[in-house]
Amino acid sequence: MNLIFLRHGEATDNVKNLLSDKEIYWSTLTEQGKKMAIDSINNLQKDIDVMYVSPLPRTIETAHYVYEKYPYIKVVIENRIREIDYGKYSHSKNNKELDEVRNKQFNGDYLVRFGDYGENKLDIEKRLSSFLLDIFKTKN
């Protein structure tokens, strides 16, 4: 089994430097982001059988370009691979407090959260590990 990770292209909230972790913000690809996505897709191998996609508009849009080139692949919308939940910082610009949380997480603090109700490193690792384990089980 080979896994290919493809990040969405530049999105409108990226340009505005906003943390876009919810569908409601409707952060879609910019013209540059569409070009980035298409350029990346042109380098993909041809034997893709399943594509897992976050439910966010920018990732759905990127997946659509993949699907246009490879219409035979199965597409699965997967909530566990969505953006980090930034809690009270959702749809705000980066700031010193967020950087402090990221540094703590990077240095091994699994419990510090983004804001009062955002995700911590343990939450993120659990949902991503669960997703990868499920893929492994279905392919073996």
Could you report the per-residue pLDDT of 9-63, keeping only the tens digit for each? 899 999 999 999 999 999 999 999 999 999 999 888 778 889 999 999 999 999 9
The two structure tokens encoding residue 45:
């191998």
How far, in Å, CA of 86 to CA of 23, rounded?
13
* pTM of the predicted protein model: 0.87
How far, in Å, CA of 133 to CA of 22, rounded?
25
